[in-house]
Amino acid sequence: MRAVVDIGSNSIKYLLAQSERGALVPLESRSWVTRLGKNLETNGGFLEEDSLRDTEKALAEIAARLIGPRKLDLLRVVATAAARNAKNQDQLTSRVKKHLGVELEILSGQDEALWSMRGALQAAEQHFPKERFVFLDIGGASTEVGFLRPTFRAHSFEGGALRCHQGLGLDKIPVGDEAWNDAHIDIQKYFPESSYKELLSEYQSKTYRAVAVGGTLLLATSYCSPILTSPAGCLVTRSELEELADRVRRKNMKDRLAMTGMDVDRADILPAGILVLSTCLARLGQDEVFVTGWGLRHGLITS
């Protein structure tokens, strides 16, 4: 039996799986929104105490779930961009050690991309077994874009759903027309053209299918009419996602929360998450994207 805890910039995700006939079968999966990367750009690069407290509560709950007759062959606890960039990351590592008894692994942008892509590949190949993929992992503070085949190649951009929500003024809800139009222009600072040119020097959009990972994106697809859907993910168009973002950004929080199935912890950052995705898809020349919840945890748990 194996378990992985992924401490992201917006949420903590936990996955427990066991081996059956040579394959890992997920047994339990949970997530907690903790906003660990909140205000990193404006408070001097420090993880805030309220986010650390929420993170510790989640870690304690995970520890309680792992206590008992379960014997783990593997327990990995990893953290991504918020911890990577924080000046007080020791405040996080000590809490992980206290509750789970293991050392925290703070992943580089390249390692984050690699393991996320390997996890997403397992989902994508269920539907598109003979295709090649370009992967997008949109987290809270960063976005990883890259390829596994023919060789691994990726770039970590310093713009995720939470960071762009705050940094582009999309936290003033509802978002007015001028602010929304400005955000489409200003988001380019998080995704510089020079970085894309280097990443895509050998890329031909027609030979790859876009695959995106992210909890906020999964929420977005629940309001779309997928071209294809399954327990592993769904295929949606970029235009439909963009239309959804435009509708949601016009709503105040009360009206957003009134939407059927809306996640109270993601209602605020939903337009920003879609804007990040659509910006990347446009740069990649992709009009469709397969969105899946299989990412970093699924890649690590099979390592």
Do residues 119 and 261 both lie within one domain? yes
CATH of the domain at 149: 3.30.420.150
Last residue of a domain, one of 107, 127, 147: 107
Do residues 97 and 203 both lie within one domain? no
Strands 233-237 and 288-292: antiparallel
Q: Which amino acid is at 151?
A: T
CATH of the domain at 43: 3.30.420.40
Other Cβ atoms less than 10 A from the Cβ of 178: the count is 9
Contact (CB, 8 A) for 12 and 31 = yes
Do residues 85 and 132 both lie within one domain? no
- Torsion (CA) 123, 127, 130, 131 in degrees, nearest 10: -70
Mind listing the pLDDT tens digit of every residue in the chain (303 residues)? 899 999 999 999 999 998 776 667 889 999 999 999 999 989 999 999 999 999 999 999 999 998 776 688 889 999 999 999 999 999 999 999 999 999 999 999 999 999 999 999 999 999 999 899 999 999 999 999 999 988 999 999 999 999 999 999 999 999 999 999 999 999 999 999 999 988 888 788 878 999 999 999 999 999 999 999 988 899 999 999 999 999 999 999 999 999 999 999 999 999 999 999 999 999 999 999 999 999 999 999 987
pTM for the whole structure: 0.91
Burial label for 300, CB within 10 Å (0-12, 13-18, 19+), is: buried
Q: Is the peptide bond before 150 cis (omega within 30 degrees of 0)?
A: yes
Do residues 197 and 251 both lie within one domain? yes
Do residues 167 and 98 both lie within one domain? no
- Domain total for the chain? 2
Contact (CB, 8 A) for 89 and 67 = no
Do residues 277 and 231 both lie within one domain? yes
Largest CA distance in the chain: 57
Do residues 155 and 291 both lie within one domain? yes
Full residue range of the structural domain in which residue 44 is found: 2-107
Nearest to 139 by CA among 259, 266, 224: 266
Host H or E run for residue 18: strand 11-20
Query: Which tokens belong to 212?
Result: 């995106």
Q: Which amino acid is at 119?
A: G
Do residues 146 and 294 both lie within one domain? yes
Nearest to 138 by CA among 119, 167, 163: 163
Query: Which tokens belong to 44?
Result: 């001097």
Last residue of a domain, one of 107, 130, 148: 107
Burial label for 264, CB within 10 Å (0-12, 13-18, 19+), is: exposed
Do residues 129 and 152 both lie within one domain? yes
Write down the pLDDT at residue 67. Answer: 77
Gyration radius of the chain's alpha carbons: 18
Last residue of a domain, one of 91, 107, 123: 107
Do residues 97 and 118 both lie within one domain? no
Do residues 26 and 49 both lie within one domain? yes
Three-class SS state of 96:
helix
Structure-token match 């397992």, residue found = 122
Do residues 293 and 163 both lie within one domain? yes
Write down the pLDDT at residue 201. Answer: 84
